[in-house]
Structure 1
Amino acid sequence: MIRADGEGPPRPTKLSRYGMSRYAASNRQFRAFADETGYVSEAERFGWSFVFWMFLPEELARASRQVVGTPWWHAVDGADWRHPAGPGSSIEDCLDHPVVQVSWADANAFAAWAGGRLPTEAEWEHAARGGTEHIFPWGDDEPSDDTPPLNIWQGEFPRRNLATDGYLGTAPVDSFAPNPFGLYNMSGNTWEWCADRFRVRSLSAAAKQRDIDALREQERTLKGGSYLCHRSYCHRYRIAARMGRSPDSAAGHIGLRLAFDPPAEPAPEPAA
């Protein structure tokens, strides 16, 4: 448990019926949405986004700006969902990988076009557990670096990724075994936006808690971890793990998955 993320304590939640996509939204799907609607993402409008250092050619790494505190992230001009690692990169060879470089607003716009919505955090976590109480979608055992059941970092973060799972970056949305509900990559691969604001309820004094709430009031919740997670660094590929980011944030490890409401029940026929 990462207390600063507000993972606990557990609390009961009642859910209405809903559906969840088996896969994260793919580049192919997001491209269809953008081509049909002319949608321009927030990263495209801003003109830049965050890219992990390992995917940058040397000249682009020198020209970009390192993020203070997390220097493995670079603010790269021209990075967006069509060019996830900046100018010169493309999605053409990874159309069935999850779309990344999408903000919370981008995710909501895509969801509305696709006839769905973003899941709540409770819905996402219930779906990820697959009817169990396990720590991970496959059980309670930490993933092995030899035969990993998900796409996360293997090696020494952030300098050396052994990629024994087969991927340095994202993996196709149907990679690895599904959870008991038939959902793929509910841990690792990409973080997934949820509908909720990111709220942290700590055990600290009330005044300190108010400061935390005020600072993070606008953040939205992300679940699932990503290909950059490692037990020595963030360990957020656990089902309970969570992260908050401002809704206009986009990065090379943030995507989305759709939830769906069931069709409305027809009104009963009037009595004769």
Structure 2
Amino acid sequence: MRSLNIFGASLLVLLTVQCKENKKTGEKSDPQKSTLNESISAEVLSTLIYEKPSNIETPKGMVWIPGGEFIQGAVPQDKMAMSHEKPAHRVAVDGFFMDVTEVTNAQFSKFVNETGYITVAERAIDWEEMKSQVPEGTPKPHDSILQPGSLTFKKTKNSVPNLFDFSQWWNWTVGANWKQPNGPGSSIQGKDNEPVVQVAYEDALAYCKWANRRLPTEAEWERAARGKKESSIYFWGDEEKVLSQMANTWEGEFPVNNIKSDGFEARAKVGSYPPNEFGLYDMAGNVWEWTSDWYNVNYYKELQTSQQPIVNPKGATTAYNPNSPYAKEKVMKGGSFLCNASYCASYRISARMASSLDSSLEHLGFRTVATVEMLSAN
């Protein structure tokens, strides 16, 4: 099903790439609370998979991420950290394999060619199905809008005083999909090595099933991004001055002018910047990446931590975002080519944002993981 949140006056509800935080979020208790992951005993922690088993080969295009403990969430020196990144808490995850890069157009094309899969953005829209997902009384959009499409970015001509109003630079574009990521007339021809975008959560899961992979949990993603940097803001350290050398982001005045100090206006070929210490590329910038965790603004605050780390957390069991009460959202990580210091700075390791399940955008893609258990079953 397609969510009406992406249409017309409902655009602000959908666009939960919230790069500025509502200051009231989390100040009052709410009955919609996430079910908490409980800390477990040291005996269970001792069974953690740290090193790659010798009988398991590393899949092509992936790298082993050692199991271990780390601090998830905002580091103390991060002045840009939002409240939903706090408090930081101890986590331990089993080792796993992760794609070295984001899934590319070429890889997704192979999946579609072999399966005939049709993405969410390419499917016909059923208004009757949608009405149950939006506020009662929401008017039906005009038939010219109620057609397959997705969200695309457009620069503004002048400075934007209100960066909360995402409708100033996001547009519902009929015909936008993974093959035409910027709308009709655009193409992925000659862009095999760019990350695939305009993929909804369902699309990413379908690819994972075909590839015998899964999406990373938020904890796994953050473990992988952090590398061996135990307490730094970025995967390379705390130095922001080298950002243009390390990641594809927006530099200049957002959303008016991108001065392209990093060499790119929009998406870059995967691997265009240095990898982190685990050999992973584009864990900061380029495109956002789906994770499997539900987004719940209260999740970190409600964690009951103790001396033992939380082992292999899978996030909140329910989605909750007061800014998008009708959307069921998943956590996305890593930031994108649209991230700017004045707008979101989500190229930081702990940064976390949300997107609804059926949302597809031109700056949102994914990468996959494989576990020892998954590969042992083959």
The amino acid of 1:228's aligned partner reads L
- Alignment partner, residue 142 of structure 1: 240
Please point out which of 61, 85, 91 is paired with 1:13: 91
Please point out which of 194, 205, 220 is paired with 2:291: 194
The amino acid of 1:236's aligned partner reads S
Please point out which of 79, 82, 86 is paired with 1:3: 82
- Alignment partner, residue 212 of structure 1: 322
1:52 aligns with 2:52: no
Deviations for 1:175-201, whole angstroms, at most 9, x for unmatched residues?
110000000000000000000101112
* Aligned CA distance change for structure 1 residues 195 and 164 (closer, same or farther; 3 Å): same
How far apart, CA to CA, are the structure 2 residues paired with 1:7 and 1:181? 23
* Aligned CA distance change for structure 1 residues 163 and 35 (closer, same or farther; 3 Å): same
1:222 aligns with 2:320: no
1:94-243 alignment, distance < 5 Å: 94-133=191-230, 134-144=232-242, 147-201=244-298, 212=322, 215=325, 218-243=328-353
- Alignment partner, residue 372 of structure 2: 262
Deviations for 1:195-229, whole angstroms, at most 9, x for unmatched residues?
0101112779xxxxx87399277210100000000
Shift of 1:2: 4.1
The amino acid of 2:154's aligned partner reads W
How far apart, CA to CA, are the structure 2 residues paired with 1:130 and 1:96? 24
Q: TM-score, normalised by structure 1?
A: 0.85
Q: Is the 8 A contact 1:143 1:149 kept in 2?
A: no
Q: Is the 8 A contact 1:26 1:95 kept in 2?
A: yes
* Aligned CA distance change for structure 1 residues 266 and 105 (closer, same or farther; 3 Å): closer
SS in 1 for 2:92: coil
The amino acid of 1:9's aligned partner reads P
Shift of 1:93: 1.9
Q: Is the 8 A contact 1:191 1:253 kept in 2?
A: yes
* Aligned CA distance change for structure 1 residues 213 and 149 (closer, same or farther; 3 Å): closer
Aligned length: 250
Deviations for 1:135-167, whole angstroms, at most 9, x for unmatched residues?
11111111447x531100111100100112111
How far apart, CA to CA, are the structure 1 residues paired with 2:375 and 2:120? 37
SS in 1 for 2:264: coil
- Alignment partner, residue 104 of structure 2: 26
User: Any gaps of 5 or more consecutive residues in structure 2?
Assistant: 1-79, 126-147, 157-163, 303-319
- Alignment partner, residue 185 of structure 2: 88
Identity %: 43
Task: Tell me how large the CA RMSD over aligned residues is.
Answer: 2.6
The amino acid of 2:150's aligned partner reads S
* Aligned CA distance change for structure 1 residues 180 and 106 (closer, same or farther; 3 Å): same
